[in-house]
Amino acid sequence: MDKQGHLLDASPRPLACFLNDHSRRMSADDPGGGRGRRSVEVDFFSGHKTSSRVAGSPEPPPIKEEDLTINMQLLPAATQKEEDDDDDRSASASASGSQQQLQAELGRMNEENQRLRGMLAQVTASYQALQMHLMALMQQQPRKQEQFLNATPIPAAAEQPASNSSTEVEKEDSPDAGGGGPSSSKQALPWAAEGRQLSMRKARVSVRARSEAPIIADGCQWRKYGQKMAKGNPCPRAYYRCTMANACPVRKQVQRCAEDRSILITTYEGTHNHPLPPAAMAMASTTSAAASMLLSGSMPSADNSFLARAVLPSCSSSSSMATISASAPFPTVTLDLTHRPHMPLLQAPPPPLYNQSKFSGLHMSSTASSDATRPPIDTVSAAAAAITADPNFTVALAAAITSIIGGGAGQQQHHGQAAAGVNASNNNNNVTSSSNNTATSNSTNSDTQ
């Protein structure tokens, strides 16, 4: 336990914040109950919901980050107490021996703490360098993006995000500014400031996942602002807006598939303008990666296997799909998570997940071991994939962490740079390409757009 606190103390602050925030946000992400939005409380580490628990998962007492920290801080005091007990019942020789042992233990832990901090700093630095590199690459590719979208057989592809610079911004803005009237998000739209963000605003990432829950828990906080009956689908389409920041432009649409109502189609649009909790960052990173690749044209239209490997690395040879659509008005990436013949990790979360120290250690070591053989997005994407593949976020998180354990290099964004918080897939997504619109996968979402 002390080690848990010990390691957690060395972990980056966002993680700690997330531990506190996540359960709240997770519950808030469940509009399904409508008023019951706060009914689902999820414990991040124990991997079970307080209201409903995944069958077969162990049920350790919830571990709170504060507890861990406090325990860590109290460690010397506890040590002192043990010393007192020893004094009461034994000779000073044994007490001093015990004290020395404890001090040695403490020293070891401090040493490890320092080492982990060093690793964290190193990982953070390399991550930032990678992110900068990615940004630079993306900025260098507007032309390729144009070519990519023009190469698609969809006539509407002429509206490439690359070419929508400021004029597109205004065009995109106008509905918000004009039509509805006093929209809260129309002034100083953060995404309009930057071409890339604009692209992310224009790009959409649609996620198809089997879920009985009315919404996918993606780590962000959403507020429902509308619901419509969409043509060709008896199920209503719900509109959500990110409420984690005042003017966050990210929106999402949630609708059940007309053909198979067990499939939930979530379409994200926009870029968060605020820091995200790790879970949301993981998912946002996945969407961001998908959208970026679509918009940057970093992959040939005929071969989306790159997307498969980069966005859905753990599933590049399986049966799910990522459908690329450049159809008007928004290029859309559809991640189809509905094909998952087996989800062993989700069915049987590994016991180590519930070991806080192991989690932290893995978290750290995995990030520290972010060797060049794996892009940082791998683990994030794998995590997002697992997370979004299953409505039970915590169980899916187990799979995500397991993927980290499995050797993925974990990197997490510390700013809400990623595209719309999104989710991705399961453990066996694969990616296929399609240049048609997403009608096959989300016909009710982008069919008439």
Would you tell me which residues interact with DNA (CB under 7 A)? 28, 31, 34-39, 171, 174-176, 178-186, 221-232, 237-239, 241, 243, 251, 253, 328-329, 447-449
Nearer to DNA, 100 or 174 (CB): 174
CB of 277: closest distance to DNA in angstroms?
15
Using the minimum distance from each CB to DNA, give the nearer residue, 61 or 179: 179
CB of 239 to DNA, least distance (A): 5
Q: How far is the CB of 40 from DNA (least distance, A)?
A: 12
Q: How far is the CB of 325 from DNA (least distance, A)?
A: 13
How is residue 381 written in tokens? 């994407």
CB of 228 to DNA, least distance (A): 5
- Minimum CB distance to DNA, residue 95 (Å): 51
Q: From CA 286, how far away is CA 127, in angstroms rounded?
A: 16
Query: CA angle, 357 as apex, 28 and 46 as ends, to 5°?
Result: 35
Q: If DSSP states are collapsed to H, E and C, what string results for 267-326?
A: EEECECCCCCCHHHHHHHHHHHHHHHHHHHCCCCCCCCHHHHHHHCHHHCCCCCEEEEEC
SS3 letters across the chain? CHHHHHHHHHCCHHHHHHHHHHHHHHHHCCHHHHHHHHHCCEECCCCEECCCCCCCCCCCCCCCHHHHHHHHHHHHHHHHHHHHHHHHHCCHHHHHHHHHHHHHHHHHHHHHHHHHHHHHHHHHHHHHHHHHHHHHHHHCCHHHHHHHHHHCCCHHHHCCHHHCCHHHHHHHHHHHHHHCCCCCCCCCCHHHHCHHHHHHHHCEEEEEEECCCCCCCCCCCEEEEEEEECCCCCCEEEEEEECCCCCCCCEEEEEECCCCCCEEEEEEECECCCCCCHHHHHHHHHHHHHHHHHHHCCCCCCCCHHHHHHHCHHHCCCCCEEEEECCCCCCEEEEECCCCCCCHHHHCCCHHHHCHHHHHHHHHHHHHCCCCCCCCHHHHHHHHHHHHHCCCHHHHHHHHHHHHHCCCCCCCCCCCCCECCCCCCCCCCCCCCCCCCCHHHHHHHHCCC
Q: Rounded to an integer, what is the distance from CA 398 to the centroid of its chain?
A: 13
Give min distance, CB of 211 to DNA, in A.
Answer: 16
Nearer to DNA, 178 or 300 (CB): 178
Question: Minimum distance from CB of 243 to DNA (Å)?
Answer: 6
- Our CB check for DNA shows the closer of 253 and 370 to be 253
> Which one, 295 or 405, has the nearer CB to DNA?
295
Of the pair 107, 175, the CB lying nearest DNA is at 175
Beta carbon of residue 233, minimum distance to DNA (angstroms, whole number): 8
Report how far residue 44's alpha carbon sits from residue 50's, in angstroms, rounded to the nearest whole number: 11
Pick between residue 35 and residue 89 the one whose CB is nearest to DNA: 35
We find the least distance from the C-beta atom of residue 314 to DNA, in angstroms, to be 31
Q: How far is the CB of 415 from DNA (least distance, A)?
A: 22
Nearer to DNA, 327 or 426 (CB): 327
Which is nearer to DNA, 117 or 224 (by Cβ)?
224
CA 219 to chain centre: 7
Beta strands 251-256 and 263-269 are antiparallel
- Backbone phi and psi for residue 116, each to the nearest 5 degrees, phi listed first: -65, -35
Q: Of 232 and 234, which CB lies nearer to DNA in the complex structure?
A: 232
Q: Closer to DNA at the Cβ: 366 or 441?
A: 441
Closest distance to DNA from the beta carbon of 167 (Å): 12
Give 106 or 154: the residue with its C-beta nearer to DNA: 154
